[in-house]
Structure 1
């Protein structure tokens, strides 16, 4: 918890923190806190109402399923039948360079490998490395 919340939630620490405030400032603070509390209560009530509405819809659908003779297990079979994700094949290399007997290839996408970058900085063109 932050230091602010520690002070706010501890009675004596809170009292010590606000001792320099005037009565009017404390009343303004109380009004602001009351507004926040009211908003929180209203938000909680809205969430509870939405959850109750959701649960009522679920119950209605469950009763419809029961009337037709379906079960939740029947839905599980349909819901899990999705096409498997296909992994795409890696891109073929487009450029090739030979460095110290080692062949380094690059697709031409993404960050330029340092060996290609060094050669390009020397003045060579990328077309020289085409496969």
Structure 2
């Protein structure tokens, strides 16, 4: 589209592009281009009219709200405006171990086991630390 507009809007490029075209072909193109221009004008006028109608409607609604003593925040339901966040439930601890250094290790038994519990599991001693 950019190339097309470059050709149409620059006189030298346009002359070069239509050098081999016949007069009847150019007249047909001229007629088609005129029709397209008229259609585009009508579309733009319709869009402009629609925007003006929207702005008028907004102004009317805001005036009615002011007369009624309402604000935009009065129209929004705060519970609906804020999506509820589900709180993640903490799982109960199933295994607890205090190592020689006095560090407490816990595991809910779900997901990948911490190294300490993985070692105990491989040795078969995991159940000893069940809470």
TM-score over 0.5 for the pair: yes
Q: Summarize the Cα distance change of 1:65–1:5 in structure 2 as closer, same or farther, 3 Å threshold.
A: same
Deviation for aligned residue 1:78: 4.4
Partner Cα distance (1:53, 1:4) in 2:
34
**Residue correspondence of structure 1 range 99-110 to structure 2 within 5 A:** none
The verdict on how the C-alpha distance between 1:87 and 1:15 changes in structure 2, with shifts beyond 3 A counting, is: farther
* Number of the residue aligned with 1:54: 54
Instruction: State the Cα deviation string for residues 15-47 of structure 1 (Å, max 9, x = none).
Output: 111021111111100001001101110000000
- TM-score in terms of structure 1 length: 0.56
Give unmatched runs, 5+ long, in structure 2: 89-131
1:42 aligns with 2:45: no
TM-score of the superposition, structure 2-length normalised? Answer: 0.56
Count of aligned pairs between the two proteins: 89
User: Are residues 55 and 2 of structure 1, via their aligned partners in 2, closer, same or farther at CA, if it must alter by over 3 Å?
Assistant: closer
Coordinate RMSD, CA, aligned? 2.9
Provide the residue aligned with 1:119 in structure 2: none
Question: Which consecutive aligned stretches of 4+ in structure 1 deviate over 6 angstroms post-superposition?
Answer: none
CA change 1:38–1:78 in 2 (3 A) is farther
- Pairing 1:59-74 to 2, within 5 Å after superposition: 59-74=59-74
Higher Rg: 2
Task: Give the gaps of 5 or more residues in structure 1.
Answer: 89-131
Match of 2:60, SS?
helix
CA distance in 2, matches of 1:79, 1:52: 33
Residues 51, 64 of structure 1: alpha-carbon distance in 2 compared, 3 angstrom cutoff: same
